[in-house]
Amino acid sequence: MRLIFTANFNKFQPINSTQAWSLFLTGCKNDNSLGKNPMIGKYLTVAILGAMIAQIVEVVLMAV
């Protein structure tokens, strides 16, 4: 059974970005697969945003 569908998980508790990324990457099976450090999720978010911004800049520069 998926973690998010259990009674223990859904108590409207806030989760940090590391738990959110862990749930996303494991298909909602595990909320601590990336560890307990909340900075890991922040680094992952910044890395993905940086890659997206770099791609947008590349497309804009190639169009000019």
Name the residue range of residue 33's domain.
3-63
pLDDT tens profile 15-61: 889 988 988 888 878 888 888 898 999 999 999 999 999 999 999 99
Tell me, rounded to whole angstroms, the distance of Cα 32 from its chain centroid: 12
> Three-state SS string across the chain, please?
CCHHHCCCCCCCCCCCHHHHHHHHHCCCCCCCCCCCCHHHHHHHHHHHHHHHHHHHHHHHHHHC
Instruction: Please tell me the predicted confidence (pLDDT) of residue 63.
Output: 92
Total number of domains in the chain: 1
29 near 9, Cβ under 8 Å? no
For residue 5, name the pLDDT band (cuts at 50, 70, 90): low
